[in-house]
Amino acid sequence: MNALQPWHLIILVLVVVLLFGAKRLPDAARSIGKSMKIFKAETKDLSGQEKDGDAAAEPVETRQIPPASATPASSAQDQQVADLQRQLDEMKKQQADGQPQKNAS
């Protein structure tokens, strides 16, 4: 008699939808799924480390980024970045100038 009936589940689903809204539920489910995936991966790693015992950890491979040289290619890239930043600033100014006009009407 105390078993979970189908109408109990329907009521539970309706309450959850009313509390959180239909738009937020897929995002919440996606977040929970990602968290579960990460949790499983971490517990798998921990159990793998326990099996190895007190063995020394494997060295982490590190790579150094070569120093930036003043080559024509890098200066051309720097120029492109500067141009793009300038364009972005102009677009922000245009958008900021356009915002009060839209709100005023």
Specify the pLDDT at position 51. Answer: 63
Where are the chain's structural domains?
74-100
Q: How many CA atoms lie less than 13 Å away from 81 in the CB half-sphere?
A: 6
CA pseudo-torsion sign 39, 40, 44, 45: negative
Share of the chain above pLDDT 70, in %: 70
User: Which stretches of the chain drop beneath a pLDDT of 70?
Assistant: 1, 50-73, 99-105
pLDDT at 47: 81
pLDDT value of residue 67: 62
pLDDT single digits (tens) 73-92:
677 888 888 999 999 899 88
